[in-house]
Amino acid sequence: MNFEALIIGCITGFISAFFGIGGSSVDTPVLRTFLNLPPLIALGTPLPLTILTATIASVAYKREHLVNFRVAVYSIIAGVPGMVLGSYLTAYLQGKFLMLLTAVVLCVVGIDFIIKTFKEKTHIMKKPFSQPPVYYIVSVAIAIGILSGVLANGGGIFFVPAYVILFRMKIKEAIATSLLTVIAMALPGSTIHHHLGHIDLTITTSMGIGVIPMAYLGAKLDIRTKSQTVMILFGIFMVVFSVYFFISQLRNGHF
């Protein structure tokens, strides 16, 4: 049992379920920074937890009838092959590059979270949600799948902004739909990264113990809370932390 990993699991499990992002993209820099795991191990170790977090949180969201099953199904059909391709690509990419890419992605998504908070009231209300065409869902999901496979995450950190900004979903529906998509997306990625030796099962297990109660709590709290203010704070946190992580990885020569 790794106590530090358990605490990390508690914190990231709650955050991941609240924002519907799976969690591995946030876990990777945290594990790299605080547990000093090798880059590829920090990348792959949290991925199985994405399945656990998303499954637990989905139970809470499903009861509220927030899941758009049509979008989720087509996202899974197109996203899973992309995830498989992206996962295998990590065997040919340098760890340092992947860590820096993770930091850049976190920064971009953090900024997007802030912008999305303001857009939800204007963009969504002026242009009501309508079911996107299949080719549009498939195109977006394939691209997200490849990127998620490279970065060893379930795709939630990309699907939530995509669903809101591109598909005009309301934020809670986007979160609920993303979590269902993430469950299927993370399965092949976890298998491949385990095969490649990128997963520390001891750390994964310790984090999982913390994830179980906090993921459900995070989902239930999101359902009952207006997320705008929290999303802005979380976006600021992601931007600040990603900049710190990017700089720390540039200074770290051990990759």
pLDDT tens profile 82-136: 988 988 887 787 777 777 887 887 788 788 778 767 765 554 445 556 788 999 9
Convert the pLDDT of each residue in 149-201 to its tens digit.
Answer: 887 778 887 888 888 878 888 878 888 898 889 888 888 888 888 988 989 99
CA distance 42 to 183: 20
Q: Is 165 exposed, middle or buried (0-12, 13-18, 19+ CB in 10 A)?
A: middle
Contact between residue 185 and residue 24 where contact means Cβ atoms under 8 Å apart = no
> Model's pTM, two decimal places?
0.75
Convert the pLDDT of each residue in 6-33 to its tens digit.
Answer: 999 998 888 888 776 767 777 888 888 8
- Least Cα distance to 41 among 188, 193, 163, 222 occurs for 193
In which domain, by residue range, is 128 found? 3-251
Q: How many domains does the chain have?
A: 1
Residue that the structure tokens 């469950």 belong to: 183
Contact between residue 180 and residue 67 where contact means Cβ atoms under 8 Å apart = yes
Residue that the structure tokens 């051990």 belong to: 254
Q: How many alpha carbons fall within 13 Å on the CB side of residue 24? A: 35
Distance spanning both ends of the chain, measured CA to CA: 26
